[in-house]
Amino acid sequence: MKIIRTTEDLRAYRTSLDGAVGFVPTMGALHAGHRALIEAAKARHQHVVVSIFVNPMQFNEAKDLEGYPRTETEDQQLLQTLGVSALFLPPVMALYPKGDHYVVDELLLSQDRCGAARPGHFRGVLTVVLKLLNLVQADVAYFGEKDYQQFELIQGMATALFLNTRIESVPTVREADGLAMSSRNRRLSKSQRRLAAKLYPCLLDSESDDAARTALSHAGFAVDYVTSAKGRRFGAVRVGAAPDEIRLIDNVRINA
C-alpha cells in the first residue's frame, strides 16, 4: 500500500494508474462500515484509494473536532490487510493551503435535518469532498447510507457540477444489537452504549415520526429531530451531558 501525503504526489500517482479506480473517503477511526465500503470498491475496481482526513471545516464546535477519535496506526494496518492500493493521508495545509475562502454550498437539501442542526456542516463536507474527488479522479466513490443526507448531497453535487466520478452508496453496517457503526461510538461510555442501541428500534418500530420522537425521549435521549422523507425515517439524538455529549444519527427504511 502506497502512503501519499501531498496533493502533488497524489496527482502523480493517479496519472500512473491504468484500469478502474474506486475511492473511499474517510475521517479515520475505521470500523466494519468502512470495511464494507472498501470491499465494495475492491470487488469492482483494479485500484482502490482511501483517504483519511479529519476535516476541520465540517465541525461546528472546536471540542468536537478535538475529541474526534484518531487511530492512524491501526487504520493503516487495517487498510494494508484489506489490500488497499493507496492511502491519501494529507495534513490540513495540503487541502486548505490558503484557508477556506472557497467553499461549496447547497441551498435546498442541506437546510434541513443535520443541516439545520449543524449550520455550515454540509458546506464543509461538500467543499472537502469536491477537492478529494478532483484529486483522485476515481471512476466511482463510495459512501455509507448511515449518513444518507450526506450521500444525497454529494451525489447531487457530482451531478450538478458534471463530475466524472459516479457516487454510490453502501448499506449501513450495524452492531449485533442494531446500533449503526460509527467512529463516534468509540466515545460512548458503557451506559451510553446501552442507551445508543435503542435508537435503531425506536426509529424502525414506531408507527409515526411523533411516536418515534416520544419513544426516544422516554428512552433517555435528547432528540434533535425525527423526520421522514423518500421512504426513510431519519433521526438524530444526543447522549451524555454538555460539554461531552455525543450526537448519533441513523435512518431506516419505512413504508411510505
Question: How far is CA 226 from each of CA 108, 119, 181, rounded to the nearest angstrom?
Answer: 18, 18, 19
By the 10 Å C-beta count (0-12 exposed, 13-18 middle, 19+ buried), 251 is classed as buried
Q: Which of 31, 34, 45, 121 is catalytic?
A: 34
Q: Which of 83, 134, 97, 114 is nearest to 227 (CA)?
A: 114
| Contacts of residue 189, Cβ cutoff 8 Å, sequence gap at least 6 | 240
Beta-bridge partners for 239: 246
- CA 40 to CA 169: how far, in whole Å? 10
Q: Residue 219, Cβ neighbours under 10 Å: how many?
A: 16
Give yes or no: 34 in active site. yes
- Residues with a catalytic annotation lie at 34
